[in-house]
Structure 1
């Protein structure tokens, strides 16, 4: 659909923002727990029987600690997916609100709200650009909050560090890495938790900016 085919209606996003902040808190707690379990694995040390994945498709029975890590990691994965869905819903709504408030065509078309996270190279800056543009539509004369850059920097570390959000290895491989060198895993975990906290502040700042401009008398667009 052409972005200019219709004028969006301004819809306060505070309720959805609260949902996003709640899922961010859940995801951050889950990733913090994941880090705690990785430390426990490193301190306990690898069993004499070797890593869970023995090679050639052979897996030994998991220890109770390893089994618990599987559970904690799965909860973290579910929380991350839930957080991503609610965040994208919020981002789509506040982007529509930005068009309604500014009355102008935005730099990034609507599909980039979703494609910006998965298109290689573009995913290094497009999502941050969308958030920055949405914030400035609510407060044109204000400086971009420092939390936006902190959030995006931590997100890139956590997502692209080779041990975080986009790390493709199995849980058993991560367990083996925790036994060998847990530090890269903890760096990624810390970045993800920090990004969740910073993102919650960004969500609040963007939502407040839009609401304050609406309260000040910005004319909502009509369909």
Structure 2
């Protein structure tokens, strides 16, 4: 059984985390728009890689502004998400302490250690998912579906790594052709960021709902009622 007074996850913190992810996605959409504009200016002269200097400067300035917005919004959104992650680890840890391989402090520390942050938060998320999943009713076979965790983490890691690669290409670009190619790669990274943010929202909402349900209704899944013929 669950311990008396098992904590219920805060809906306010969930709303803040989802709102931060939504702002990150909106900044990525703005970056996509700015990228399309910069690419259009470069290719404006009949498909040749040439552009009037004034238009090019304006488009490049807008693209750099979009990048600053992304950085400005990403940091507070990441902090809020990690706070939610830690609170969820603490709450689910009270439900099923034997499900976890590491202490609750790792729900914060795992994000801060290079290389470790590529896999350890995923392990913690899987442990939380298992702890928040109701136990099967007697005689019932049930296995938690972990695809929301796998989808979120796969998209997140791939988008981060690809964004760093695109950033290096853009920083080292010298000719208009190189700038255009780097912008295209950055735009692909923005699309990945948007999809990863949507997957993170799904994971966050699902896990919070599972934890609240288990905290309020008990550890077992309700038995499925069987219809009986008259």
**TM-score with structure 2 setting the length:** 0.75
CA distance in 2, matches of 1:94, 1:12: 7
* Structure 2 unaligned spans of 5+: 43-49, 136-142, 220-230
Q: 1:111 to 1:47 in 2, by over 3 A?
A: farther
1:23 to 2:10 alignment: no
CA distance in 1, matches of 2:81, 2:202: 13
Structure 1 residue 118: Cα displacement: 3.7
Number of matched residues? 199
CA distance in 2, matches of 1:100, 1:44: 57
CA distance in 2, matches of 1:165, 1:211: 37
Q: 1:138 to 1:166 in 2, by over 3 A?
A: farther
Structure 1 residue 90: Cα displacement: 0.2
> Aligned-pair RMSD on alpha carbons?
3.0
1:132 to 109, 115, 126: 126
CA distance in 1, matches of 2:99, 2:149: 22
Secondary structure (helix, strand or coil) at the match of 2:111 reads coil
1:212 to 2:213 alignment: yes
CA distance in 1, matches of 2:70, 2:173: 14
Secondary structure (helix, strand or coil) at the match of 1:117 reads helix
The correspondence of residues 184-195 of structure 1 with structure 2, limited to 5 A, is 184-195=185-196
* Structure 1 unaligned spans of 5+: 1-7, 50-59, 219-223
Cα pair 1:138 1:209 within 8 Å, conserved: yes
**TM-score with structure 1 setting the length:** 0.77
Q: Which moved more, 1:37-46 or 1:105-114?
A: 105-114
Secondary structure (helix, strand or coil) at the match of 1:193 reads helix
> In the alignment, which residue of structure 2 is the partner of 1:34?
31
CA distance in 1, matches of 2:13, 2:67: 26
Cα pair 1:151 1:198 within 8 Å, conserved: yes
CA distance in 1, matches of 2:97, 2:116: 26
Which structure's residues are more often helix, by fraction? 2
